[in-house]
């Protein structure tokens, strides 16, 4: 049962050189969290509801239900029939959308402040009163099945990526696609969707985030009027079983005649802010250090990978690294390369390994660290100019298990970060025995000396 506690408000001022954000937070008696981020530069507000449920919470045979429910949430309630919400948002001069990920399902509207109350009325209504029957469910299930055909099934890279993720996360639910496996989409029923909705869509399993020209004082009576009257539900706790440690690296090398441009990538097992590799304890600051490392290695055309593979050796058209630090379970540190036309893919691995070997041997430099810090801070400053981006980053943080008070903790970690710390995480996590190699080409000739594994 949700926490039935008295409403409380806490104001936390988060700041870094050149930027500041104000968070006001309170909780309704039914357990629903509300976070308000004030931005009074324009008279608009982004109103969003984030549910602490996503694709990672699905059971075998029922993959895609989180995404399916997102679709169904636009099918109306007895009080607000299908299509009414879209028309109302448009008439009010706003926009709306929704998105499903592994850790969350979220819905938002961006409207003039004076139209916020009507958005709360609509959103709170469909939280508990969604009208679901076979006349609604079956056509939408076919829509989702067609969506999968048009996106994943018709795209050789996406088909291959599904196999890679299933191999990399062999046991964890991050290994199944958010849209769901085709057989599961074809097999689940209206009752499956109703059960999912009733089990997870409740005020005590949701966080409302508002970014715009509003305050908690203004929001609280509206939240109590529309959301506070909803009853909490006995929501099952989220279970996160760690992906077990494996005995060695994985290699997936495939050929698909539909592929025009080969791809080369490696995924290293890495901690997130919330979870260590294979259940290891989270070490404070490591996620921030890996974030910086991704900038130094592959954050742009001046980064090490691009300079070596594209500029110096002429082996690739692009080379970059990415790291997603905010996840409920462990994440990955990824290196991706697009070989230049005429270059066989077997040339890429040794070139990348040489870049990594040099970094692991000599570490990063003070100049690289300073540049990466500046880039990350600049990106955050620009991001906070946009209400949607601020809402989105805060939402993924909270639904992954983070606390509002810790949202900007990375800023102090970033300022204190040293070259030694970045070099240490590089040596700890860029390990050949913990990586998954993924290569997809259009023909065996494009592979060079690499051999197909499937």
- Tell me: the pLDDT tens digits for 359-416? 999 999 999 999 999 999 999 888 888 889 999 999 999 999 999 999 999 999 999 9
Question: Of 13-22, 51-60, 316-325, which gets the smallest average pLDDT?
Answer: 13-22
Clarify whether residues 395 and 283 are in a common domain: yes
pLDDT digits (tens, 9 = 90+) for 143-178: 999 999 999 999 999 999 999 999 999 999 999 999
The pair phi, psi for residue 88, each rounded to 5°, is -65, -45
Domain termination residue (choose one: 226, 259, 294): 226
Last residue of a domain, one of 226, 241, 275: 226
DSSP 126: H
User: pLDDT of 333-345, one tens digit each?
Assistant: 999 999 999 999 9
Confidence bin at 21 (pLDDT 50/70/90): low
Residue 8, pLDDT > 60, answer no
Does residue 183 sit in the same domain as residue 278? Answer: no
In a domain, 235, yes or no: no
- 146 is a catalytic site residue: no
CB 246 within 8 A of CB 299: no
Domain range enclosing 431 = 250-447
Indicate if 310 and 215 belong to the same structural domain. Answer: no
pLDDT of 296 > 60? The answer is: yes
Tens digits of residue pLDDT in 126-147? 999 999 999 999 999 999 999 9
Is the domain of 98 the same as that of 140? yes
400 inside domain: yes
Q: How many separate domains does the chain show?
A: 2
Q: Are residues 221 and 258 in the same domain?
A: no
pLDDT of residue 142: 97
Does 178 fall in a domain? yes
**296 and 208 part of one domain:** no
Model pLDDT, residue 14:
37
Sheet holding 44-51, edge to edge: 10-16, 19-27, 33-38, 206-212, 44-51, 105-112, 95-100
> 3-class DSSP state for residue 340?
coil
Does the structure show a pLDDT above 70 at 358?
yes
Q: Are residues 199 and 256 in the same domain?
A: no
Count CB neighbours of 409 within 10 A.
Answer: 17
Among the residue ranges 15-19, 192-196, 236-240, the one predicted with the least confidence is 15-19
Average pLDDT over residues 442-449: 97
The pLDDT confidence band at residue 9, using thresholds 50, 70 and 90, is: very low
Domain annotation covers residue 240: no
User: Which whole-number Å values give the CA distances from 99 to 72, 73, 252, 308, in the listed order?
Assistant: 12, 11, 30, 37
Residue pair 72/140 in contact (Cβ under 8 Å)? The answer is yes
Domain containing 339 — which CATH number? Answer: 3.30.830.10
pLDDT for 112 equals: 97
Q: Could you tell me whether strands 44-51 and 105-112 are parallel, antiparallel, or unpaired per DSSP bridges?
A: antiparallel
Residue 385: predicted pLDDT: 86
Q: Which of 24, 27, 58, 70 is labelled catalytic? A: 70
Report how far apart, in Å, the C-alpha atoms of 221 and of each of 205, 216, 227, 228 are.
Answer: 20, 9, 10, 9
- My answer on whether 270 and 183 are in the same domain is no
189 with 260, same domain: the answer is no
Note whether residue 236 is domain-resident.
no
Q: Verify that 254 and 221 share a domain, yes or no.
A: no
What average pLDDT does range 438-449 have in this prediction?
97
Residue 239 lies in a domain: no
Asked if 211 and 266 sit in the same domain, the reply is no
What is the pTM (predicted TM-score) of this model? 0.93
Asked if residue 80 belongs to a domain, the reply is yes
Query: In which band, very low, low, confident or very high, does the pLDDT at 22 lie, cut at 50, 70 and 90?
Result: confident
Same domain, 316 and 383: yes
Residue 7 has pLDDT above 90, yes or no: no
Angle at which helix 65-72 crosses helix 134-148, to 10 degrees, equals 120
Q: Looking at per-residue confidence, does 1 or 315 come out higher? A: 315
What average pLDDT does the chain have?
A: 94
Q: Is the pLDDT of residue 279 over 60?
A: yes
- Domain membership flag for residue 349: yes
**Residues 445, 275 contacting (CB under 8 angstroms):** no
**Residue 103: C-alpha distances to residues 23, 150, 180, 238, 290 (Å):** 22, 24, 15, 10, 21
Quote the pLDDT of residue 380. Answer: 86
């Amino acid at each position: 049962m949700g926490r039935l506690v008295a409403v409380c408000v806490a104001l936390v001022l988060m700041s870094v050189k050149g930027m500041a954000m104000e968070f006001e937070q309170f909780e309704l008696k039914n357990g629903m969290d509300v976070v308000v981020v004030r931005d009074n530069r324009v008279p608009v507000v982004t109103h969003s509801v984030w549910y602490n449920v996503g694709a990672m919470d699905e059971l075998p045979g029922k993959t895609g239900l989180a995404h399916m429910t997102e679709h169904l949430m636009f099918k109306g309630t007895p009080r607000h029939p299908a299509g009414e919400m879209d028309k109302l948002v448009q008439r009010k001069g706003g926009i709306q959308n929704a998105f499903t990920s592994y850790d969350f399902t979220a819905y938002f509207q961006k409207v003039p402040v004076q139209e916020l109350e009507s958005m709360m009325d609509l959103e709170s209504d469909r939280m508990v009163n969604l009208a679901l029957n076979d006349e609604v469910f079956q056509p939408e299930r076919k829509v989702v099945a067609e969506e999968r055909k048009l996106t994943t099934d018709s795209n050789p890279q996406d088909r291959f990526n599904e196999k890679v993720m299933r191999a990399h996360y062999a046991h964890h639910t991050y290994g199944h696609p958010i849209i769901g496996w085709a057989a599961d989409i074809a097999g689940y029923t209206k009752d499956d969707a109703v059960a999912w909705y009733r089990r997870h869509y409740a005020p005590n399993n949701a966080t409302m985030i508002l970014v715009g020209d509003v305050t908690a004082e203004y929001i609280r009576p509206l939240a109590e009027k529309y959301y506070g009257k909803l009853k909490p539900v006995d929501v099952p706790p989220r279970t996160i079983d760690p992906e077990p440690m494996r005995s060695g690296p994985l290699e997936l090398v495939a050929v698909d005649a539909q592929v025009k441009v080969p791809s080369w990538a490696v995924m290293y097992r890495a901690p997130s802010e919330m979870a260590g590799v294979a259940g290891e304890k989270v070490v404070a600051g490591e996620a921030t250090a890996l974030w910086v490392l991704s900038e130094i290695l592959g954050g742009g055309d001046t980064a090490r990978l691009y300079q070596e593979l594209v500029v110096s050796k002429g082996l690739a058209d692009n080379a970059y690294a990415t790291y997603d630090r905010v996840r409920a379970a462990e994440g990955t540190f990824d290196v991706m390369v697009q070989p230049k036309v005429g270059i066989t893919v077997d040339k890429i691995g040794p070139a990348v390994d040489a870049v990594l070997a040099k970094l692991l041997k000599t570490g990063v430099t003070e100049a690289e660290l300073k540049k990466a810090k500046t880039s990350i801070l600049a990106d955050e400053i620009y991001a906070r100019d946009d209400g949607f981006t601020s809402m989105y980053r805060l939402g993924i943080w909270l639904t992954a298990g983070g606390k509002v008070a810790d949202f900007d903790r990375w800023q102090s970690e970033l300022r204190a970060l040293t070259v030694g710390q970045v070099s240490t995480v590089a040596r700890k996590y860029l390990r050949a025995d913990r990586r998954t190699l993924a290569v997809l080409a259009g023909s065996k000739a494009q592979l060079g000396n690499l051999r197909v594994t499937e």
